[in-house]
Structure 1
Amino acid sequence: MPYTTLVSAQTLQAGVKDPDWIIIDVRHDLADLAAGRASWAAGHIPGAIFLHMDEDLSAPKTGQNGRHPLPDRAAFATKLAQLGINARSQIVVYDAQGGMMAARLWWMLRWLGHTAVAVLDGGLPAWLAQGAELSTEAPANRPIGDLQLLTTAVGTVSADEVLANLATQSRLVVDARGPDRFRGENETLDPVGGHIPGARNRCFRDNLQADGHFKSAEILREEFAAVFGDTPASAVIAQCGSGVTACHNLLALEIASLPGAALYPGSWSEWCSDPARPVATGG
């Protein structure tokens, strides 16, 4: 039975030596782009591959496509196959930030059609809390895998579709950024502060308990219901600053058995790059 949302540190300890399990470290620091790879080199879960948020999980930036634009699907599938990922592979992704970065790769693999992917619940701190060891050894090269693109129900929306939705209001935009940035305050990452008009705020950190593990499915369902109102998850557009932490909300929705929301990959960083697009501020 594949793991499709979360894996505990205890479960990962049991599976770490399974050749069909592939562990991927995506630790990242927006303020220090070299920090993730340096952290991996200093110590990682044994066998873990490192993938960089900007270099591996994003396409080149144009100034108008956001800070973390999605790569080409086919090219990304090829890259992962070259790392040895197969159709049968159980992927486990982790970071040290409560899944903030790991959820992005979780979503991207589902976007390719590979559903046997899970985030390490609690991240690297949970692994260390189990008394598990780290390694500084690079993983052995694997034979090229057979991962291929498959049909997927994972959806995305474009900036034009979000713009058109302002008139129809047929879908609900949910912003995963912190409340201050949503209001247009303390904006340090993007040139314009504020949010997409009509959006509601659900900070991704609200998906976590105080110990950094995800809240229960029942609690997540209740909390998302308070944000969505009468809107079904299938009519929700998830966004954030650059399409990364929105995936954390999408993971939480999957845990809560509320599937079907779409990702706006460009998110606020793409939206605000065009001064013709309207901006709202405040709560």
Structure 2
Amino acid sequence: MKTTIDMNWVKDHIDDENIVIADCRFNLQDPREGRRQYNKAHLPHAVYFDLEKDLSRQATRHGGRHPLPDVKDLAFKLGNSGVDHRKTVIAYDDQGGAFAARLWWLLNYFGHDKVLVMDEGFSAWHKEGYPVENDRPAPHPTQFVPKVHNEMIVTHVDVCSLLENKDNVALIDSRARSRYLGEEEPMDAKAGHIPGAENWFWKENLTPEGKWKTEPELKNRFASLENKKSITVYCGSGVTACPNILGLQKAGFTNVKLYPGSWSDWISYEEYPIAKGAENKNG
């Protein structure tokens, strides 16, 4: 299944009536920056999707920093953005696809697989001199009917079961190596990783130039996971796990699930174990 799309193709099809462009730019350190950048300039017809207001619901004690959004709320936002079962959504950001991939994953979770992440991001688009706008589009509202696929997610209880039964399964930590090792933790109250997890930093799905690696390159990257009967992916809060899931899907894997609460949910349970340091060749 195709997961990414070249920005030259996007430029040539930007006015197609069956395409909805989604701007997903965001900054975890400055949550308002993405909206400011959108207001300054965005791709023609692009609708803004805010990570914390649209692609997440409000955090509570458990569930992580970016819990999955309320189904009705996101379905309403999608419908008001002109998205229905006929439309293809093309998502972009300026952070290597981290936030665009969150929308990509959510749409698949909602049963809508007509969604692609634009290879490269807004800066590359702007650098090429491609058209931008600073006005807000007026899409034709429609009804988006979600068909939620709960088999695509796991809970903290499921992860506990993985720790007890490690028979040919993989648990992937998508964060930077220093966070996985427990050497630093800039976002959450505790440092380390879930015991048994392997570290596959999500940014290694990208080339040094910031483009998504090719299917053969990603197949090679994830080759050691080929015989795993299931792969569970987490990060800090269920966001940057999504580009790893996209990379795995691009490489041909279909047995991949997201732990939405991720590390920030795991550490909210005082009784759950924490590991630090390297555990295996990817950990």
Common fold: TM-score over 0.5? yes
Which of 147, 154, 157 is the equivalent residue of 2:154? 157
1:275 aligns with 2:273: no
Which of 229, 242, 248 is the equivalent residue of 1:247? 242
CA distance in structure 2 between the aligned counterparts of 1:134 and 1:206, rounded to whole angstroms: 29
Percentage of identical aligned residues: 36
1:238 aligns with 2:233: yes
SS at 2:126 equivalent: helix
> 1:134 Cα shift?
1.6
Distance 1:73 1:20, change over 3 A: same
1:183-211 Cα distance to aligned partner (Å, 9 max, x none): 01120100000000000000000000011
SS at 1:98 equivalent: coil
> 1:229 Cα shift?
6.4
> 1:124 Cα shift?
1.2
Letter of the structure 1 residue corresponding to residue 155 of structure 2: S
CA distance in structure 2 between the aligned counterparts of 1:4 and 1:57, rounded to whole angstroms: 22
Identify the residue that residue 118 of structure 1 maps to in structure 2.
116
CA RMSD, aligned part only?
A: 1.5
CA distance in structure 2 between the aligned counterparts of 1:185 and 1:64, rounded to whole angstroms: 24
Distance 1:280 1:173, change over 3 A: same
> 1:153 Cα shift?
7.9
Conserved in 1, the CA contact under 8 Å of 2:67 and 2:261? yes
Question: What is the TM-score of this pair, normalised by structure 1?
Answer: 0.94
CA distance in structure 2 between the aligned counterparts of 1:169 and 1:190, rounded to whole angstroms: 26
Identify the residue that residue 197 of structure 1 maps to in structure 2.
195
1:178 aligns with 2:173: no
Conserved in 2, the CA contact under 8 Å of 1:4 and 1:115? no
Identify the residue that residue 210 of structure 1 maps to in structure 2.
208
> 1:150 Cα shift?
2.7
Give runs of aligned pairs for residues 79-118 of structure 1, distance below 5 A. Answer: 79-118=77-116
Letter of the structure 1 residue corresponding to residue 25 of structure 2: R
Which of 25, 34, 37 is the equivalent residue of 1:36? 34
SS at 1:115 equivalent: coil
Distance 1:222 1:154, change over 3 A: farther
CA distance in structure 1 between the aligned counterparts of 2:245 and 2:271, rounded to whole angstroms: 28
Conserved in 1, the CA contact under 8 Å of 2:2 and 2:250? no
SS at 1:258 equivalent: coil
Letter of the structure 1 residue corresponding to residue 233 of structure 2: A
1:194-250 Cα distance to aligned partner (Å, 9 max, x none): 000000000000000011111111111111123x26424xx0001000000101011
Identify the residue that residue 260 of structure 1 maps to in structure 2.
255
Identify the residue that residue 63 of structure 1 maps to in structure 2.
61
CA distance in structure 1 between the aligned counterparts of 2:151 and 2:127, rounded to whole angstroms: 34
Bigger shift: 22-31 or 164-173?
164-173
CA distance in structure 2 between the aligned counterparts of 1:93 and 1:230, rounded to whole angstroms: 31
Conserved in 2, the CA contact under 8 Å of 1:9 and 1:130? no
Conserved in 1, the CA contact under 8 Å of 2:23 and 2:38? yes
Question: What is the TM-score of this pair, normalised by structure 2?
Answer: 0.94
